Amino acid sequence: MVGRIVETTLYDITGQLSESHIKLYFQVSGLKGARADTIFAGHEYSRDYLRSLVRRGSSRVDGIYDVTTKDGYALRISVVVFTVARIRSSQRVTLRKLMSDKVSQKVGQLNFDQFVQEIVLGKVASEIYNEGKKICPLRHVGVRKSKLLSLPRSEESKSVSSKTGEKTETEEAA
C-alpha cells in the first residue's frame, strides 16, 4: 500500500464544479490504522479540458521547468499559454522568459505546501497572465501539469527507514 499513487479531482476536495478538470495525484507515504498519510505527487489538466482550449488561429506556448522549493522539494512544472491570435516567435520567446521568471521567483519564496497550493489554485498562472497580457492578448494561462521529482534528503531517509523498519539517527537519539 505504501508508495501507491491515488488519483482524485480538485472538485472532490473543494466541491467547486469549475475545478473538476484538475486531476490531483497523491502518493501514500505511511499507514496509521485505517488512515493513509499521503504526500502531493503532482497534478494535471484532464485530457478533454486541454483539448477544448486548443483553437484554430491561436497560438499555444508551453514551458517546462525543473524547480526546487525553499525547503528542498524538486518539481517539474509545465505551464501553458493560449493566445487570442497567432503570435510571432519573438513574442513566444518573451512569454517563455516571463513564465520562467515568475515560476522561479515564486518557488524561491515559498515552501512546498505553499507552492503547490499556488500552482493548483491558479495564483501563479494569474500572475503570468497579468504580466503576459502586456506582450500580447492572452486567452488562457495555466499550470497544466506538475510532478514531484524528489523529496528533501531528510524526508527521503525518513520514508526509506519507515519502509525497512530501521530507525534513523535522529529517531534513535530521541
Mean pLDDT of the chain: 88
d(CA 117, CA 113): 6
Residues 61, 81: contact at Cβ < 8 Å?
yes
Domain 5-165 in CATH 3.50.50.60 = no
What is the predicted pLDDT for the residue at 153? 78
Rounded Cα–Cα distance for residues 137 and 57 (Å): 13
What is the C-alpha separation between 110 and 72, in angstroms, rounded?
11
pLDDT at 26 over 50: yes
The domain spans of the chain are: 5-165
User: In whole angstroms, what is the distance from residue 124 CA to residue 126 CA?
Assistant: 5
The answer to whether the beta carbons of residues 93 and 101 sit under 8 Å apart is: no
pTM for the full predicted model: 0.82
pLDDT at 52 over 60: yes
Express each pLDDT in 154-165 by its tens digit.
Answer: 755 555 444 444
Which whole number is the average pLDDT over 33-45? 92
Would you report the helix, strand and coil content of the chain in percent, each value rounded to 5? 40, 35, 25
